[in-house]
Chain A
Amino acid sequence: MEPFVTLTGVAAPLDRVNVDTDQIIPKQFLKRVERTGFGQFLFYDWRFLPDGKENPEFVLNDPRYRGASILVAGPNFGCGSSREHAAWSLLDYGFRVIIAPSFADIFYNNCFKNGILLVTLPDDAVRSLMDAAARGVAVTVDLERQVVETAEGASWGFEIDPFRRRCLLEGLDDIGLTLQHEDAIAAYEAKRKDNPLAVFAAR
């Protein structure tokens, strides 16, 4: 996983609520067995018209937001299916940060596993950021200092779980970290045999 420390870039405002993972990556693209190459399918039904041409009405097709690396969206972003393809498509398209008032739980986990930083900010802050983005103001997201700033000088602090922060800052491989607890896992498995709850394991 690529570490994330700080990023300054173009922010794209996606002013919609409850954006679900079926919109982020429609189901017909979930059949691939690779992790890569999903960016071309991001927001497919919104980005492209039925004839395959770009939909000029959709925000990511607006020339102002080409090359955006920060997405600013409405609450409950990423709800629905657990498909990690949603995170893969956002990352492959070029997004490293998503800012919204709230995120769905599974999507939240998936993004962090892929080095995408999700920043939760209050409604009014998200609204201000959308307005700033529309004016073409660059946005900086600094994970070290836990702050979002605009080039106009506005800034908001944000909270993040320290474990996730560390994994992102250092680009840590989760499984490798867990395997450092091999002794604890083995001890738990041994103990399970005597645990009255071990009936669960019967298979």
Chain B
Amino acid sequence: MVAPKTLLDKIWEAHEVVSQGAGKPSLLYIDLHLVHEVTSPQAFDGLRAAGRRVRRPDLTFATMDHNIPTDVPSVIRDPIARKQVEVLAKNCAEFGVHLAGIESPDQGIVHVIGPELGLTQPGKTIVCGDSHTSTHGAFGALAFGIGTSEVEHVLATQCLWQQKPKVLKLELVGRRPAGVTAKDVILGVIARHGVGFGTGHVIEVSGEVVSAMSMEERMTVCNMAIEAGARAGLVAPDETTFAYLRGRPFVPQGEAFDRAVAVWRTLRADEGAVYDKTITFDVSGLEPQVTWGTNPGMCVGVKGAVPDPAQAASETERRAMERALEYMGLAPGTRIEEIPVQHVFIGSCTNARIEDLRQAAAVAKGRKVAPGVRALVVPGSKRVKQQAEAEGLDRVFKEAGFEWREPGCSMCLGMNPDIVPAGERCASTSNRNFEGRQGRGARTHLVSPAMAAAAAIAGHFVDVREWLGELEAAATGGR
């Protein structure tokens, strides 16, 4: 009898080109390699120096996102950033790689366009020189971030040597309260279990909560699996996945799609599969989350307060908390709802998809951004932008006083003109609140799109659940 397999086992075994036995790395075939301007130039240089070609340009897809200004994308004033974008275009032309450049209707954040174009599919192995590649795991693909040397390796060989990760089963159970989003769920999990609990593991996310989630929500959860240190997040594909993918440009069409679905249905863990670790997380009592510190695990419910380092479990933790509070300019005991914000960023590969924008717009509708607050809405891709405009969301945001921008990574990481000045606070729907991430000295608070929009309007954090009566009319509010 064959031992029951995890979802990871199934995808892994289907992609082993060379297996050296347990405990040794396998040579894994890569089905889709996504490329962007920041982590690829040195990889293409390496190919050139060794006289190598891109083995499978047909399995490689490039876009530009990190450096792109979101006001006028074609005008990159920073000469070094401009050069990096130009170098990508030149490399793609030279090596025959398809590029969705600034002018392309397909351009956008790499982890937004992969799924929306249907490049991301269940059972694929997907890599990109970007840690948030974990996002694509929402489709039941084994997707993980790699460094530039590995980018070069994949370009040259379409393979990677990988040690098989351990598997952690994360079961999301309970009843998700209204106003509590996928962002709050993953922040809540990381707050409870720490920023390192997934290290060395792939997290298979299961349970009734994830089954009920939309693809956008699953992507938010898998996106932040890396913030728990995990190699990847993984959700077994189901009817929600197939419905999302049907008709997308790069999926098989017609009958071929049905045949694909028949195969994709087999991509789930067998009954009795054995996991290296299991965590069950009950979402029933969860509040909307707000980070107070300098990593995503430093996080509390919106009704809570900034914790006191004196209560820390260890000396190391106490010092880390003190350091974080000093950077963030916060005193222990401060109620979260009393913290003012000067900037609001709705965007990033975590929360810039159509559903995220709908949720934020539902909060913004008929209201005004507070005086002194600068609020940006940056759609994740050209297609998301187009869809949002077709639904009139751009008008809702603009009438409320939000800036409506062009697609890109924007304020998530300050590699383009969108940065937060030192000492100022930003309610951000991105994924990292590290020191200096949004600009030197910038103070980042991670929240959901609805919470970010509410903070923009109030000028400080508020519990968006208290506004829910008016929001229930919105088609896709929190479940």
Interface residues of A (CB under 8 A from B): 16-18, 20, 22-23, 26-28, 30-35, 45, 50, 74-76, 79-84, 87, 102, 104-106, 109-110, 113-114, 161-163, 174-175, 178-179, 181, 184-185, 188-189, 192, 195-197, 199-203
CA distance A175 to B27 in the complex (A): 12
CA distance A201 to B31 in the complex (A): 6
Q: A18-B320, A35-B42 are in contact. Are A30 and B152 (CB under 8 A)?
A: no
Determine which of A32, A74, A203 lies in contact with B58 in the assembled complex, contact meaning CB atoms within 8 Å: A203
Q: Per-residue 0/1 for B143-155: is the Cβ within 8 Å of any A Cβ (1 yes, 0 no)?
A: 0111111101100
Judging by beta carbons under 8 Å apart, are A81 and B131 in contact?
yes
Q: Is B234 part of the contact surface with A, judged by Cβ < 8 Å? A: no
B257 CB, min distance to chain A CBs, angstroms: 9
In the A-B complex, the 8 residue pairs with the closest CB atoms = A113-B149, A110-B147, A84-B147, A33-B41, A82-B145, A84-B148, A199-B260, A82-B131
Judging by beta carbons under 8 Å apart, are B415 and A27 in contact?
yes
**Which one of A35, A82, A179, A181 has the greatest number of beta carbons of chain B within 10 Å?**
A82
Of chain A, the residue at the smallest CB distance from B432 is A80
Determine which of B147, B148, B435 lies in contact with A23 in the assembled complex, contact meaning CB atoms within 8 Å: B435
Judging by beta carbons under 8 Å apart, are A32 and B320 in contact?
no
Within 8 A of A (CB), among B149-165: 149-150, 152-153, 156-159, 161, 163, 165
Judging by beta carbons under 8 Å apart, are A181 and B27 in contact?
yes
Judging by beta carbons under 8 Å apart, are A80 and B434 in contact?
yes
CA distance A33 to B40 in the complex (A): 8
CA distance A78 to B344 in the complex (A): 28
**Which one of A105, A110, A195 has the greatest number of beta carbons of chain B within 10 Å?**
A105
Determine which of B17, B196, B422 lies in contact with A102 in the assembled complex, contact meaning CB atoms within 8 Å: B196
Of the A-B pairs whose beta carbons lie under 8 Å apart in the complex, a sample of 5, sorted by A's number, is A74-B316, A80-B432, A105-B231, A109-B150, A199-B263
Q: Is B73 part of the contact surface with A, judged by Cβ < 8 Å? A: no
Residues of chain A contacted by B395 (CB below 8 angstroms): none
CA distance A200 to B323 in the complex (A): 47
Determine which of B59, B157, B259 lies in contact with A178 in the assembled complex, contact meaning CB atoms within 8 Å: B157
Q: Is B252 part of the contact surface with A, judged by Cβ < 8 Å? A: yes
Judging by beta carbons under 8 Å apart, are A33 and B295 in contact?
no
CA distance A192 to B153 in the complex (A): 20
Q: A76-B229, A201-B31 are in contact. Are A82 and B147 (CB under 8 A)?
A: yes
Judging by beta carbons under 8 Å apart, are B29 and A200 in contact?
no
In the complex, besides A80-B226, A199-B259, 11 extra interface pairs with C-beta distance below 8 angstroms are A18-B195, A23-B434, A80-B131, A82-B129, A84-B149, A106-B145, A174-B149, A178-B161, A181-B159, A199-B256, A202-B250
Judging by beta carbons under 8 Å apart, are B58 and A175 in contact?
no
Residues of chain B contacted by A18 (CB below 8 angstroms): 195-196, 295, 320
Determine which of B161, B195, B435 lies in contact with A45 in the assembled complex, contact meaning CB atoms within 8 Å: B435
Of chain A, the residue at the smallest CB distance from B40 is A33
Judging by beta carbons under 8 Å apart, are B199 and A102 in contact?
yes
CA distance A28 to B415 in the complex (A): 6
A176 CB, min distance to chain B CBs, angstroms: 8
Judging by beta carbons under 8 Å apart, are A188 and B434 in contact?
no
Residues of chain A contacted by B195 (CB below 8 angstroms): 18, 76, 79
CA distance A105 to B199 in the complex (A): 7
Q: A81-B131, A105-B199 are in contact. Are A197 and B263 (CB under 8 A)?
A: yes
